Amino acid sequence: MDANQSFVNLSEKSYIKVALVGNPNCGKSTLFNALTGLHQKTGNFPGVTVDKKVGFAKLNNNVTAEFIDLPGTYSLYPKSIDEQVAFEVLCNPDNVNHPDVTIVVADASNLKRNLFLVSQIIDLRIPVILALNMMDLVEKEGIVIDAVRLSEKLGVKVIAISARKKEGVEQLKNLLSEPLPIPQYDFIDVKKIAPELVENVRKIIKLNSDFAAFQTISNFSEIHYFDNHPDKKGKLTALFNSASIDRNSLQTEESVERYKVINRIAIECVTSRSAIKTDTFTHKLDSILTHRFWGYAIFLIILFFIFQTIFFVAAYPMEWIESLFTHLSAWATISLPPGELTNLFINGILAGLSGVVVFVPQIALLFAFIGILEDTGYMARVSFIMDKLMRRFGLNGRSVIPLISGVACAVPAIMSTRTISSWKERIISIMITPLMSCSARLPVYTLLISLVVPSAKNSGFFNYQGLILMGLYLIGFIAAISAAWVMKWILKAREKSYFIMELPVYRTPQWRTVGLTIYDKVKVFLWDAGKIIVAISVILWYLSTHAPSERFQTIEKKYNTPELSMKYNSEERQAKIAAEKLEASYAGILGKSIEPAIAPLGFDWKIGIALVTSFAAREVFVGTMATIYSAGGKDNTQSIRDKMQAEVDEKTGLPKFTMAVGFSLLIFYAFAMQCMSTLAVVYRETKNWKWPVIQFAYMSVLAYVSSFIVYHLLK
């Protein structure tokens, strides 16, 4: 390094911002987890609905470091919303998230490609640390990277790490306490490509480097910073309109120049002790897992295993939790003084909580499997093998990521469509993603399947309940791609899409990362969904235990007459009173008002109440049914499933929840748009109410028609 090199000493500050940036699949998120542990929070970057993951850690010099995990990007060419965020945070010094130092995480096994982004960030003239990740894998392949020589060539600190094994993580933290060099020389001279324009842009806006000016020229239409600075935007617009600019040519010329320098550096800093074997474990496994036939078959087998396990393994802790709440309700009934508050606690709060907590084992298992598949590198293969299939339906392999993410939750899945550069494919992906069965549907599926498909029905390893659960997820996927095919012909767009994805090497899952994923998702389910369910349960408790005028008193007088007192014993009379009171309550009136519309689907007024409350969140269905059946009976020693199973249709004398009713309800929940949060995020992503309205309409019609057909076929 030059003797006159400028340095920045971050130890002089008490609080610093550190940006983590890198290519997709470079191990950036793994390093983020290693640096911050549980000290993380999520939000949105100002002005955009893009996840901002922030974590905190204390450095050795007692400085608090705020680590910002930026979306993965291959370059500072903002082609998607994700890449725009990384571009504006790093290139714009006025951005509130602009870092004091940037850690560029590079996959050491593919250094030349990763150095492209590194070189662009170096040319921004901001403090940079290059973290060469996966060095343990590189050494196994016989590749040697001279980190000291690379540091001299780049003019920045370079450190070798293995984020998964936490090797070099503490040394990386220590580097943040040392004086860091500020890049002094340009990696390439971009001013040669457009000298007058670069000079004029730097006169109009204050920028640290020629490259920042060059990027402003190349990406002006994608930069939102100037929307809040109309004077600068006006001057730049006039400048660019007066010049004939071919932005694609500018980026191409820049890329060629960068790779010339990168190739020279790679020759000097990277050597191989032995010829790299192409017939590696990864290649052998890919020949099977990405096979045009076996790839799909193996994916279906994996899904089958997941759903069988979810039902089989989760059954035991679910029974324990169910039993715990049943005993707790029975204890409260005996121990607490009778009255309104006790009734609220037992039939409102406890009933609502039981509808949340009992499904934690299944939610945890689902996210455990998703975390393992992502961490091993298999999810990237699913996107790859699905690309050819997706294109027939107006999508590409990149759309698979939101669809698979939709199995967890539609809200972040829809937000992840920002990585799709094609407007048409992004809109289609947004519109169909809610058809994928999310984790909010899992409690509903589990309850209804257990009602209509006894667990005793199995054939060896095959559990029918698990097969039906898998079938519901596949039905959601088939409906999604069918809807995409229709929209492919309705929506018009001239732009052509492309799909480029690097397949990471297979790795053993990092159990700490998987554990953090499970912890985070279960916490969100318990807190975010839980507070909604409990709140609605309390409201429903009130609506189901109160009625207009003196309806309840009339019912009690009716059953206290000598005639009915002789006809029914005390226990039967109390059950009749409770049932009629529920029907006469405010909740009963609400359910009766919508019953004519849903009766053709096999649903009664009690189910109608649950359908209405489910629009807050689908999983509210379980809490609603728990509250309704608790309010409609005096027996608190039974679980919600037992109470629903014992429900009898007064007209037929048969169980209310027959196979026809159960499967009709399952199909309705598989297709219906019953999530206000999803509709809200669709509006935020599209900036137009037209799309959520269309989405709500077509999914509601699909749910109603499908449910009607299923009910009448099975009735």
Q: Both tokens of residue 399?
A: 């759309």
Q: Does the pLDDT at position 317 exceed 70?
A: yes
For CA atoms 327, 535, 674, 654, the dihedral sign is: positive
Nearest to 59 by CA among 232, 180, 165, 148: 180
Nearest to 352 by CA among 647, 572, 613, 710: 613
Of the two residues 286 and 277, the one the predictor is more confident about is 286
Of the two residues 144 and 680, the one the predictor is more confident about is 144
Q: What is the pLDDT of residues 72-96, one digit of tens each?
A: 888 888 776 777 788 878 877 777 7
Confidence (pLDDT) at 44: 44
Best-predicted range by mean pLDDT among 32-36, 417-421, 451-455, 522-526? 32-36
* Confidence band of 46 (pLDDT split at 50, 70, 90): very low
Instruction: For residue 66, tell me if it sits in a domain.
Output: yes
CATH of the domain at 111: 3.40.50.300
* 3 state SS of 164: coil
Of the two residues 121 and 11, the one the predictor is more confident about is 121
CA atoms of 268 and 555, how far apart (whole Å):
91
Q: Both tokens of residue 27?
A: 């191990």
Q: Does the pLDDT at position 126 exceed 50?
A: yes
* 3 state SS of 577: helix
Confidence (pLDDT) at 47: 43
Q: Does the pLDDT at position 701 exceed 90?
A: yes
Best-predicted range by mean pLDDT among 138-142, 422-426, 692-696? 692-696
Q: Does the pLDDT at position 533 exceed 50?
A: yes
Which range has the worst mean pLDDT, 395-399, 474-478, 524-528?
A: 524-528
Instruction: For residue 403, tell me if it sits in a domain.
Output: no
Q: Residue range 200-207: average pLDDT?
A: 81
Q: Both tokens of residue 593?
A: 């008002």
C-alpha 314, offset from chain centre: 22
Is residue 703 classed exposed, middle or buried when 0-12, 13-18 and 19+ CB atoms within 10 A define those classes? buried
Q: How many domains does the chain have?
A: 2
Backbone angles phi, psi at 396, to 5 degrees: -140, 180
Confidence (pLDDT) at 494: 62
Confidence (pLDDT) at 663: 94
Q: What is the pLDDT of residues 573-630, one digit of tens each?
A: 777 777 787 788 888 888 888 889 999 999 988 888 888 877 766 777 877 777 777 6
Confidence (pLDDT) at 280: 65
Q: Does the pLDDT at position 278 exceed 50?
A: no
Q: Does the pLDDT at position 421 exceed 80?
A: no
* Confidence band of 413 (pLDDT split at 50, 70, 90): confident
Confidence (pLDDT) at 597: 92
Instruction: For residue 324, tell me if it sits in a domain.
Output: no
* Confidence band of 49 (pLDDT split at 50, 70, 90): very low
Contacts of 20 (CB under 8 A, 6+ apart): 28, 31, 32, 67, 68, 69, 70, 103, 105
Q: What is the pLDDT of residues 470-523, one digit of tens each?
A: 889 889 989 999 999 999 888 876 655 555 666 677 777 878 778 877 887 787
* Confidence band of 638 (pLDDT split at 50, 70, 90): low
Backbone angles phi, psi at 556, to 5 degrees: -65, -40
Q: Residue range 56-80: average pLDDT?
A: 83
* 3 state SS of 397: helix
Domain boundary residue, one of 253, 272, 291 = 272
CB 331 within 8 A of CB 616: no
Which range has the worst mean pLDDT, 205-214, 399-408, 464-473, 603-612?
A: 399-408
Domain boundary residue, one of 272, 289, 318 = 272
Instruction: For residue 206, tell me if it sits in a domain.
Output: no
Instruction: For residue 154, tell me if it sits in a domain.
Output: yes
Instruction: For residue 676, tell me if it sits in a domain.
Output: yes
Query: Do the strands 64-69 and 101-107 form a parallel or antiparallel pair, or are they unpaired?
Result: unpaired
Q: Does the pLDDT at position 42 exceed 90?
A: no
Q: Does the pLDDT at position 325 exceed 50?
A: yes
Domain boundary residue, one of 272, 287, 322 = 272
Q: How much is the mean pLDDT over the chain? A: 80
C-alpha 482, offset from chain centre: 23
Nearest to 691 by CA among 706, 673, 705: 673
Confidence (pLDDT) at 1: 45
CA atoms of 209 and 514, how far apart (whole Å):
41
What is the DSSP code (8-state) at residue 350?
Answer: I
Of the two residues 712 and 495, the one the predictor is more confident about is 712
Q: Does the pLDDT at position 709 exceed 90?
A: yes
Instruction: For residue 285, tell me if it sits in a domain.
Output: no
Nearest to 452 by CA among 656, 254, 257, 638: 656
Confidence (pLDDT) at 665: 93
How many residues are present in the chain? 715
Domain that holds residue 112: 7-195+245-272
Q: What is the pLDDT of residues 336-369, one digit of tens each?
A: 888 878 877 877 777 767 766 777 887 788 778 8
Please state, in angstroms and as integers, the Cα–Cα distance from residue 196 to each residue in 11, 210, 247, 628, following that order: 39, 11, 15, 73
**DSSP bridge pairs for 131:** 105, 159
Confidence (pLDDT) at 495: 59
Instruction: For residue 689, tell me if it sits in a domain.
Output: yes
* H-assigned helices in 92-209: 111-122, 135-140, 147-154, 169-175, 195-204
Question: Reduced to 3 DSSP states, what percent helix, strand and coil does the chain have, rounded to the nearest 5?
Answer: 65, 10, 30
**DSSP bridge pairs for 180:** 8
Rg (CA), the chain: 30
User: Which percentage of the chain shows pLDDT scores above 90?
Assistant: 10
Confidence (pLDDT) at 670: 92
Quote the longest CA-to-CA distance of the chain.
Answer: 106
Q: Does the pLDDT at position 632 exceed 60?
A: no
Of the two residues 397 and 631, the one the predictor is more confident about is 397
